[in-house]
Amino acid sequence: MVKGDPKKPKGKISAYSFFVQTFHENRRKRFLKFLSCRIFKRVFRKMEKNMSGKEKSKFDKMTKADKLQYIREMKDYGPAKGGGRDPNAPKRPPSDFFLFCSEFHQKTKSSNPGIFIGDVIKKLGEMWNNLDDSEKQSHYNKAANLKEKYKQDVADYNYKGKLASAKGTVKTSWKKVVEEEKEDEEDDDE
């Protein structure tokens, strides 16, 4: 299973990775029969530790060049951010509990000055749990009304979107209807 965007540029490669890639094929061909992967890693680590500064600088340069290439590719990549939600789309209605919270938030905060927001929410949750079903009913009704309004708004929004996407075809079909009516009238006149 592929995770993430397959078009995203590969990550930056470290100097050690360049070192391993460079020498891996030679060493593997020579010692394939004798060495396991674990021993290969040990050998490469020892070789890297024993390398001179001049040899290491070669791999550092390769890393810097790869980093610059990665930065260029990421500038060109630019994935879509935020999921592409339309700002004109109707917003979902709050639940009955959130309606209750919006109604009693200021009262709870003013009756307990200096209280933290997390504690206010805890108190509101306790108040909600202590309410009877008959007291919660008004909030249930408000939430249900808002949900129905939201469904209607979504239906209107989708209908307008379909009209906008099919605008050209609607006009041409309307023109055809008008032309056909005119032709029918002309035929009737003769």
Domain range for 72 is: 15-77
Q: What is the mean pLDDT of residues 110-136?
A: 89
CATH number at residue 143: 1.10.30.10
For 12-48, the pLDDT digits (tens) are 788 777 777 777 666 666 665 555 667 767 777 777 7
Q: What is the mean pLDDT of residues 124-128?
A: 92
* Residue 169: pLDDT over 60: no
Residue 66: which H helix or E strand, with range?
helix 53-77
Q: Using CA atoms, how far apart are residues 9 and 116, in angstroms rounded to an integer? A: 44
* Residue 75: pLDDT over 90: no
**DSSP string of 13-63, one letter each residue:** --HHHHHHHHHHHHHHHHHTTT--HHHHHHHHHHHHHT--HHHHHHHHHHH
Q: Is residue 174 part of a domain?
A: no
Q: Is residue 189 part of a domain?
A: no
Same structural domain, 102 and 126: yes
